Amino acid sequence: MVSVEDLGPVVVELFKNSDQFIGKTVGVVAEDEPCSKYASIMSSVFGVPVHYHSVPHHQFAALGFPGAIELANMFEVQRLYIPERKADLELTKKLHPAVQSFESWVHQNKERLLSS
């Protein structure tokens, strides 16, 4: 979970400190919460119930839209091999202390999200 607006400041810091990061993989994460927490935040901000329902890999991959299989695979890799992102979260906040929370992002984008 990270906003597109927060990627730029992180990348700037990576370039400024390139000697520390060359050859390394850097995960950029603003929060590391269960999906049910994000649904709860959206419920609070939107004023309507939002529920998280996990969709199994095979069902997501079968949805038939362009990229469905690739997205299903990405979600499955994250589920199986990235159980928590604490180290990525700490590094992101070190590189960009003002990284916004999910709740802040939802508030800022509420009207756009509700009109979709």
User: What is the pTM for the complete model shown?
Assistant: 0.79
Interval 63-84: pLDDT, tens = 999 999 999 999 999 888 887 7
Ordered domains of the chain (ranges, CATH):
4-115 (3.40.50.720)
- 3-state helix/strand/coil string of 24-85: CCCCCCCCCCCHHHHHHHHHHHHCCCCCCCCCCHHHHHCCCCCCHHHHHHHHHHHHHHCCCC
Tell me which of 33-42, 68-77, 82-91 is least confident: 82-91
pLDDT of residue 84: 79
Using pLDDT thresholds of 50, 70 and 90, give the confidence band for residue 116: confident
